[in-house]
Amino acid sequence: MARKPQRYRLLLLPVMLLSMTGLLSAQPFPSDDSTKYRFGVFFNLESRGENPDLVIPGYSPFCGELLEGKGSGWGIGGLLDITLLRWLTVEGRIGFARATGEMTHRGEPFPIRGDGEDLEVVDGRVDQIVDFKSTGIELIFSGIVPVSHRLRASLGLGSWFRLFSEETHREVAVTPGTLLLANNKRELELRTGTLFPYRSIVPLATAGVQYDLPIGQGSYLSPELRLTVPIIDWTTEGSWQTLRLSLGGSVRFGIPGDHPEVDPIQPDDTIPERLPTLIPDILTDPRIVEVEITEYDSTEALPLLNRLFFEENSSEIPERYHLLDISETPAFSITQLNGPTLEVYRDLLNVIGLRLSRYPDAKVTITGYHNARETGQNLSTERGNVVKDYLVETWEIFPERITVRGEKLPPRPVPERTEEGMRENAHVSIEVNNPYILIPVLRNYVQRIASPPSVTFYPKAIAERGVVDWQLDVEHEGGIWKRFSGTGWLPDSIQWNWTSDSGALPTLPIELSYRLTVGDSLGQRSSTPSIPIEVRTNTVQERLENRQQDTVIESYSLLLFDYDSPEVSSFDQALIKAIAGRVQPGATVRFTGYTDSLGDARRNNELAQQRAEASAKIFRTVAPERVEIIINDLGSGESERYPFDTPEGRAYNRTVVIEVRTPAKK
């Protein structure tokens, strides 16, 4: 049995030790409590994430390998604290620990005849589940340092000593709902006992935080949050790791003892100690921060990707697509699609359904595909049928107008060397005999453009005790318009595109200002003076009233570029010519190509340029005179116009954006 990589366990201890070193070197917030020794009790409840790779004894590795699990537990015991320095405490804990949970092997689907009237063959599945109980003694030694006045952090090592363990192996029928096992029930218990070869002693690593609430002289009630992991596997065969997150508390009582060394009190006539220097500063590019927000009348064409993507080995339409009930279709309209491009795409089936209902002669061909890793002879056809069923049952399209076909890989598949390629090939393609069904969604709106497009801040600080946290606030009438914040040392630069935390540009003349605030390890905080930002707006209405020359912006995207291809589809060739027919003399037309994130970055830049050039070449053949055509010398390549983490996001990035700027008539 192949063991899973466990490199994270090897990295865990160095990371925790480095963190401890950083905490010790900072020595923040020494405690004012002079008690040296404390004893007490602790208690906790924990949630466990099990990460097994175990073969169930007596079962083939192909039908009994446990790969996932979960559980819970609790612990109770005693503790002893010893304060070595004002900023360092060592603690020992010993306690009783109890854990329960289950580990699962998800069975492979197998054919079974249903009990309906047609005796249809369906997929059945039976899971193997091992319930476990484990009892032991835990011994932990930790170092504790203060983080703030009451908050303390700890890192520690220890061991778990096994006292008792027991497992129960059972089978559970998952699907179909009528499937019964050998005992004529849905669940069958096979055996109980100690099934796995446990280690008697397992070393542990732990990290946590606690908040000390005083309950008496030198005594505290402390809520705690801890993370604990085993350094090696629980068993001698196979692999079994656990991530334990526990929430609990402790009660500590101070006892007499030698006090840690305390700094002597200075006489009244001595000079008080100078506080460490903390001075923030901030520079900008450009040096004077000002912005003009200009409004333009704009038209945008949002393309419709004629593909719908499925999860692997599934023929269900994913939840991210917007599906309606039949009662909701009368209220649906194209004009209500005013969100981002990908949100409009989520309504693909509703747009197609609405347009098919308006054009009764239009017909649709739905072709399903699957990737090379997917199983199931009819998976491609099932995917096509589920799309057809939605159009028929929800939008009441006559089934005779829809043809469904099932194929293997798409005609030009994405290479399946990565998970992204696998996901993109699992889709259905929708073709129509009436191009109106899939034409882009047009919408008119007022576009706001900032000039300059952004400002860059360069934050700096003189901090003798180091910078612990910082925040850069852009303020508006006593509130926060935009906030940047972080922990640790300041970043080299911060770029801001003038938008608020909600993503909006200023729409009215408003007063904005910015300031930088930093904090050090002693809790000191210091801010720069508030520096004003000049904001000017230039609205469409103002330019009309002042008879200023205005510009109308139109933005179009071409889709239908196959993976790694600069070829413009016949549909998009017609769209380019239609755009050229709308362009007026004196306009400026800019072509910018884009690609997805797959493949070599240099090749993607070349491909983006080729797509822009191919589109511009078609445009030139029909464009009127006195139209300036600009092709970006370097395509935007892998610039992320849309998120790369979904198949549709990558598909929408395989595009050419055509921006038409036309001087408005007076």
- Domain borders along the chain are 7-103+135-160+206-254, 278-295+447-545, 304-439, 551-663
Q: Between residues 109 and 444, which one has the greater pLDDT?
A: 109
Hunting for tokens 């200002």 — which residue is that? 513
Helix 601-620 vs helix 570-582: angle between axes, to the nearest 10 degrees?
A: 60
What is residue 271's predicted lDDT score, i.e. its pLDDT? 62
Hunting for tokens 């998952």 — which residue is that? 174
Peptide bond into 57 cis (omega under 30): no
pLDDT tens by residue, 414-425: 888 778 888 889
Peptide bond into 410 cis (omega under 30): no
Burial of 500 (0-12, 13-18, 19+ CB in 10 A): middle
pLDDT tens by residue, 325-362: 999 999 999 888 877 778 888 999 999 999 999 999 99
- 7-103+135-160+206-254 has CATH 3.30.420 classification: no
The count of residues in the chain is 666
Residue 547: how many CB atoms within 10 A of its CB?
Answer: 8
Hunting for tokens 């598909």 — which residue is that? 651
- 304-439 has CATH 3.30.1330.60 classification: yes
Q: Is the pLDDT of residue 22 over 60?
A: no
Tell me if 304-439 shares its fold with 551-663: yes
Three-class SS of 518-529: EEECCCCEEECC
Hunting for tokens 């010790």 — which residue is that? 24
CA distance 608 to 596: 10
pTM over 0.75: no
Residue 477 backbone class (left: φ over 0; alpha: ψ -120 to 50; beta: rest): left
CA distance 530 to 190: 72
The secondary structure element, H or E, covering residue 432 is strand 427-432
E strand spans, 439-487:
441-451, 455-463, 467-476, 479-487
Q: What is the dihedral of CA 53, 59, 63, 67, to 10 degrees?
A: -20
Q: Which residues pair with 285 in a beta bridge?
A: 456
Angle (CA) 594-597-598 rounded to 5° is 115
What is residue 29's predicted lDDT score, i.e. its pLDDT? 43
Q: Between residues 33 and 87, which one has the greater pLDDT?
A: 87
SS3 267: coil
The answer to whether the CB of 121 falls within 8 A of the CB of 115 is: no
Q: Is the pLDDT of residue 115 over 90?
A: no
Q: Is the pLDDT of residue 33 over 80?
A: no
Q: What is the mean pLDDT of the chain?
A: 83
Token pair recorded at residue 292: 């003009």
pLDDT tens by residue, 594-644: 887 776 777 878 888 888 889 899 898 888 888 888 887 654 555 556 677
Report in angstroms the alpha-carbon separations of 36 from 42, 292, 548, 555, 632.
19, 63, 78, 71, 71
pLDDT tens by residue, 356-407: 999 999 999 999 999 988 887 799 999 999 999 999 999 999 999 999 999 9
CATH of 551-663, one of 3.40.50.300, 3.40.50.150, 3.30.1330.60, 3.40.190.10: 3.30.1330.60
- 278-295+447-545 has CATH 1.20.1740.10 classification: no
Token pair recorded at residue 522: 């002693």
The answer to whether the CB of 378 falls within 8 A of the CB of 368 is: no
The single-letter DSSP state of residue 116 is S
Report in angstroms the alpha-carbon separations of 476 from 300, 467, 473.
31, 26, 10
* pLDDT band (50, 70, 90) for residue 14: very low
Three-class SS of 180-233: CCCCCCCEEEEEEECCCCECCEEEEEEEEEEECEEEECCEEEEEEEEEEEECCC
Alpha-helix runs per DSSP H in 312-454: 341-345, 348-358, 379-393, 419-425
CA distance 346 to 652: 13
E strand spans, 289-407:
290-302, 307-309, 364-368, 402-406
The answer to whether the CB of 343 falls within 8 A of the CB of 648 is: no
Average pLDDT value for residue range 226-251: 92
Q: Is the pLDDT of residue 13 over 70?
A: no
